[in-house]
Structure formats: C-alpha cells, structure tokens
Structure 1
Amino acid sequence: MMKTTDAGPHLRILAVGWEGGGNVPPTLAAVRALAGRGHDVRLIADDTMSAEAIEAGARFLPWKRAPNRPDRSPESCFVRDWEIADPMAGFQRWCERIFVGPAQAYAEDILEALAAEPSDFLLGSDLLFGSILAGEIAKVPTALLAANISVWPLPGQPPFGPGFQPARSAADRARDAEVSAMVEQVWDGFLPGLNAARAHFGVAPLAHVLEQPLSAGRHLLATSSSFDFPTERLPDRVRYVGPLLEMPSWARERWAGPPAGEIRPLVLVSFSSTNQGQADVLQRVISGLAGEPVEVVLTLGKALEGLRLQSPANVIILANAAHDDILTMARAVVTHGGHGTIMRSLRHGVPLVVLPMGRDQNDNAARVDYHGAGLRLDPSAPPQMLGEAVRRVLSEPSFAERALALGHAIAEEGPGPARLVAEIEDFVLRSS
C-alpha cells in the first residue's frame, strides 16, 4: 500500500530502461530524481546500465527473457544502423528486435518483478511496447517516459521521422496524412505479434499497434514545449516535463581549454555516443573546418572512442569528454542532432549545424531550423558546404540570438527532474 507522509507520497516504483544510447541519460536522470525525493526505485534494464542505476539510487534488475546488452560495444548493438541504408528498413528492424517484437518477453520480465515486490507505479518506456503491456495487465498506474519529442502523432504536428516542418498548406497537410498512414501501416505490420503476446496474457486484441500506448495514463515528454512544434491541442495524458540532462557516466575526460592567447571562435563537434557509421561524416566535418579560422574540439563518445581520424592543428579530438565545460566557451556546435546534445547546446545559448543521421535526429533538426537556432544539412554534404555553414552560423548574429532566446525559454519552464517527479506524484495520487 502506498504510504503518504507530510512531505508527500512515498512510492514503490518500478522503472524500465533499455540500452539505446541517447535514451539512457534521461532514464537515469528520472531514477536519480525519484530516488532523491525519497521514493523506493527499482530499475529493470540492460546490464550495461547496472552500475549507473545503483549510483543513481535505484536497485537494479537485469532483463532475463528480453534483449539485454552486456556492453556498449558496436558488436552488441541490437540494430546495426550503419549497415542499413533505408531509414524505413532500419525502423522496421528496431520494431522487430526491440520495440514490438519482444513485447511478450519484456512484459514477462516486468510482471515477474512486480510479482516479487508490489509497486505503486510503473515508469515504462514509450518505445518498449512490452512495458506498456505489462502495466495494462498488472493494472498498475503506468506512465511512459519519452527521452525526447513524442514518437506518437500530436494534433497539428507533422509525422515523426522525415523531419518535416509544420504544415502550412493543403499540400503539406496531404503530405502529412499520407506519411502518417504509411507509418501506421508499418507499425501494424507487427500487430499479429503484439496481439499474440496479448493473447498469451489473456487480454483482448487490438485493431492497431498504436492503440497500445493509450493504455498508459501518462506520456511524459522529456523535452521542452518551447523547443517542440506547436500543437492544435495537447491530449490530457501527454505532459512536457522538460529535458533530463544526466551526464553520461563515461564522460569523464576534461578539456584543458584553448591554447593560451587563442581568441578564435571555438566549435564543438559531437556525433552521438552510439555507432551510426559516423566516421565518414566526421572526417568531412574535420576537412571542412581545417581551413577555417576556428578552434575545434571533437568528442567521440563511448562507442567511437577507438575511431581513428586525421585531424589538422586546429582540431583536438577527445575520447570521452563532458560537454558543459566546452559549451561555456563554444560559439557553435556541429552535431548529428541527438536530443541531449541539442538541449545542452541551447541551454548554453550556442547555435547549431545539424547533420541528422536517423532515429529522432531529422525531427530534432527540423525544430532547430524552425526556431532559427541553427542550420540543417544533409550528412552527405561536402567539406566546403560544411565549412560555409559553420562560417554562416558564426557570422550572422541572428542564430546566436535565437539560440539564446530559446535556451532562456526552456529554462523558464523549470527544471526537468523536479517537474517529472511532480507529475508522477500527482498522477499516482489521482489514480489511488
């Protein structure tokens, strides 16, 4: 039974995590915030997250039946993005191997954990359909944590995936409707497997895969409403809680600072902590900035730390560096467009050049472009074009002004961890 104290409810929480790169820091930030509030938190996740979960204040449970990564090496990746040229084929592979295909295995592990220790609340993942199914079966108040913008369609927004801007004409609206229907059809290709999992647990079949997330009472978006596109109306179950910017555990290397007396603009280059086949793009970025009057700090991340790149004198390569120290001095960021990198850059008021390589990156880049806080380029852009884009972001004041204004707007919404905790406590009290 949930206990209530003068400080508020004391909840027994089972949180769900999985090793997907950029989704890990927000999950750990949520765990840290909930445990810091005094709640009893267990995290069921991949073995890669064990030490981090314990350090954040949770008790850790590994996946037993569900997919479980033992490390963060490229060899252990469930989906090898860099080998899949077609984005739709890559999305289908993720659905098959993680999102929907193993729903029964994920649900069985979660239900076993709930049976071992009753919980007042389940914090599921918006992309692990098995976590959503488990909450429905166990009849435990369930919220879904989205590490970034909503994967599911919000009224008035373009469909997730292609990186469209909001519709401004009848042709745009027709485009959005056509792509949305195509995406739903891809999701529904996994409906037989999802319904088989539901039948295994004795629950009724669904007509569409995207009906499953509706069984959760809350959908918590770990992004900013100021950063996101406007919506016609926000469904009551959907709440923005703000960015959850946990520093990756491996980001320990410190930057010593620019050379003494150096006054040239500093550019941070960062292309994800997971392998997406970035070597070619990174080398072209380096080539494009080699002749520019800038100092460059390029950070690799855990999965890329052994990558060999040719770098000129104005480029420093760091294997596992924290970004905040660098961003206090940076004038521009060149990035793949991961949500965490973009939010950190905007928090420091630094404009961006974004070269999206898949996943949520096209849509993050579209929002940077929409707000005028940077430029979006195709990742195949030649070095000269990359250099010109950075030069433009550095020389045109509007980019820095809009990045700074957007950063202030995000900050004014309040700290993400505290908002997340408040939303969860309110939801559980209303559900009791």
Structure 2
Amino acid sequence: MSTFLFATLDAGGNLPPAVGIARELVSLGHRVRFLGHPRQEAAITASGAEFQPYNHSPRMALAEQLPTLQQISMLVSVFTDAGIAQDVVEEARREQADVVIVDCLLLAALDAAAKAGLFTVALVHSFYAFFDGPFRRTPITAMLALRGLGPRRVMGKANRILVCADRQLDPAGRPGRTGAGDQNGRVVWSGAVVDVDRPAPAPAPGSTPRVLVSLSTTAFSGQEAFMQRALDAVADLPLDVILTTGPAINADRIWAPANVTAHSYLPHREVMPECAAVLGHGGHATTMLALAHNLPLVIAPMHPLLDQRMVGKAVQDAGAGLLIRPSASAEEIAGALRTAVDSASLHLGAATVGQRLREADGARTGALFLAEIAG
C-alpha cells in the first residue's frame, strides 16, 4: 500500500479530476489524503480519502462579484502562497507520502515540494495546451513570473505532469505536436475524469427535449446578463429547461419563463442522462461530463483569459457542439440551441467523443499511473 497526498484549492471544476482519481486509488487499497479548503471536505471524504484543511491559506471567494483587479489579486495570492506551500511540505513529510499530487495552479506548493525533494506530480485539470500556452501570457502569469513562479518553469520541476484531459481534444496532445511543452516525455494524459454510469438515451419520440443550462460557479463579469438572455431565448422554444444558478448568480435577479425549472444546485450527473443538450460556459469539467453523456453543447466562454474558449473551440472542431460569443443575443442563443438539439451530426459527434471518454476511464487510468510510479 502506498500513501498519496493531494494538494488542491477551492476553484470549482479543478476538484472532480482529483477526487475521481483518489476514489480509484482508495479502491485499490492505497491511503489517500487531501489538503484543501473547508468547502471541499464533503466531496473529498465521499471518495474515501482523508481531508485536512490548510493551516495557512488566503481567503478564496470566487463566487463573489469582485472587481477584476481584486479577483486577479486574490487568485495570485493563493497560487503563490507560502503558507499553503509550507503546509504541503510539512504534511507530506509527516505522513511520509510516496507521491505528492499538486494542483497545477498551486505554483508555490509545486515549487516547494520539488525543492524539498518530494516525488511530485503536477495535476492538470484541463487542456495542457492552455496551461503551457495562453495561460503563460495573461496578467495573472505576469504577476506570477515576477515572483519567480512562472508556470512552465515550476511545472518543469515536477517529476511528472498528469493531464486529466482527452488527448485528441487537447491541442498539445494531438499527433505530430512537438516542442517545449512536451517536457521531455514527462507529460502523461490519463483522459478526462468523468463519473458516468451510462450515456444519455435518445429522447422518446414526441417528447419535449430537455436542456441543461449551467454556467460557472465562479463569478464573471457579464455572466448574469448572459444567463438572462439565455432564459429569454428559451421562453418560446419547445424545450424543457433545467437551470442551475450556482453560488455566483443571484437567482432573485433572474426571470425564468414557465418552461424553466431553476435550482441553486443540482448534481449534473443526475440530470444529464435526461437531457438532449447542454448550454454552458466551456468549463472543462462540465463540458467533458456532458460529452461523456453523448450530449452536444452550446458553449459561451465567460472569461477571455481562461481555458473556456479553447475548450469550446475543441468541441466545435470535433463536431460535438457550437461555440458562440458571450455577447450573443437571445435570438442567436435560441438558434444555437435549436441546432444543438435537432442536429443529427452534432449528436453523432458528441457520441463519438463520449464513447472515447468513457473507454479511456480517466480516473482509473490516472490512479493506475500514480500507483505504478509510487512503486
């Protein structure tokens, strides 16, 4: 039996891949511990892993509407926090962890773990092409580099980089891709980690198609306005709409037509098997879960500096969905949703990707990889 320590942060869709892999490690008989933020405890312990909150960590409040500069400052403070780094090293030594798996956003913790001589794996929870590409050219990364924590340099210190994404969708993993991003063969793709029992069945003839509308749990500028336009768009469509507002949107400020059922929270894996399509923001976790259910998507990226547009473009290029502008009108959103629901080619494209995601079994593949390197 080996001991694994995961270090994570409360940033929404970054957690499911780590939890899915942890669940598989526990089922294989290994001991798994997590360091994280208090709101993550329930999801982590449900996997069978142990949870310990950080003793030192800046406050995270991604669901709050904050000015852009304040939000960036908050993220940088967490990514570079010396207290989190100290907690990770101390916990790994105390528990004699065989492998330390650190969220790729926790750059100070990755750096400290490598300097301490711990066997370290950087866990990438979206496309590697984003973290090794556009992410290195954002204002956030400029601030990180000033602190000596540039992402490529820091991840280059890790013993391995585990990418929880579909290699065919990830631009960095496609055949023929070469360059510095390969990190000399230390980058491994497990496949997307998706918790799916079965794909969504085809809607029964004559039934009203159901669509899931769900945006990010992180507060982004313009997100609430887009959601209202989306609800205006479906008002006159023959659709049954399930809406999840999440903590970032005030449901009291949203008008929902009669064909919309609103929830503040609903596990997506429970409602997706009843759906025909998904309207989302391009978050990697929700997008891959939808595809694993064979569902085509309409994707409206909510933030230009994050991976959402890259994810949306990859889905559109795969013939599994449509990428639209976050400023799209209600009429444009309605047209995209009609296409997603009615298009046989988009359903076929989503089913093709979905089958590949399910067969890859990213959680099991990632767990077996970690168990192997732990010896």
Q: Give 1:112 shift.
A: 1.8
Is the counterpart of residue 223 in structure 1 residue 214 in structure 2? no
Segments of 5+ residues of structure 2 without an aligned counterpart are: 197-202
Asked if residue 335 in structure 1 is aligned to residue 284 in structure 2, the reply is: no
In 2, distance between residues paired with 1:342 and 1:152?
A: 15
TM-score by length of 1: 0.76
Give me the whole-angstrom Cα distance separating, in 1, the residues matched to 2:302 and 2:77: 20
Question: CA–CA distance in 2 between the matches of 1:14 and 1:375?
Answer: 38
Larger Rg: 1
Deviates more, 1:21-30 or 1:417-426: 21-30
- The corresponding residue for 1:177 is none
Paired residue for 1:164? none
Tell me, what secondary structure is at the counterpart of 1:345?
Answer: helix
Match of 1:384 among 317, 321, 331: 331
Q: Aligned letter for 2:77?
A: R
- Alpha-carbon distance change, 421 to 191 in structure 1, aligned in 2, over 3 angstroms: same
Which letter does structure 1 place at the counterpart of 2:141? Answer: W
Cα distance in 1 for residues equivalent to 2:54 and 2:291 = 35
- Alpha carbons 2:64, 2:218 under 8 Å: kept: no
Q: Who is 1:309 aligned against? A: 254
Show the 5 A alignment for 1:38-77. Answer: 38-69=29-60, 76-77=61-62
> CA separation in 2, counterparts of 1:39 and 1:270?
35
1:187 equivalent to 2:141? Answer: yes
Q: Deviations over 1:15-61 (max 9, x none)?
A: 10110011122222222222222111221111112233233222222
- What are the equivalent positions in structure 2 for 1:8-407 lying under 5 Å apart? 10-69=1-60, 76-77=61-62, 83-84=67-68, 92-93=72-73, 96-100=76-80, 102=81, 104-150=82-128, 159-160=133-134, 182-183=137-138, 187-194=141-148, 210-229=152-171, 230=174, 232-233=177-178, 234-235=182-183, 236-245=185-194, 263-277=207-221, 278-304=223-249, 306-358=251-303, 359-407=306-354
Count of matched residue positions in the alignment of Structure 1 and Structure 2: 359
Give, in whole Å, the separation in 2 of the partners of 1:116 and 1:409.
40
- Superposition deviation, residue 246 in structure 1: 5.3
Letter in 1 for 2:374: V
TM-score (norm 2): 0.86
Give % identity: 26
Letter in 1 for 2:356: A
SS of the aligned residue for 1:194 comes to coil
Query: Using a 3 Å threshold, how does the CA distance of structure 1 residues 44 and 246 change in structure 2: closer, same or farther?
Result: farther
Letter in structure 2 aligned against 1:279:
E
1:187-223 superposed Cα distances (whole Å, 9 cap, x missing partner): 354334337xxxxxxxxxxxx5531111101111111
Structure 1 portions without partners, runs of 5+: 1-9, 70-75, 162-179, 196-207, 248-257
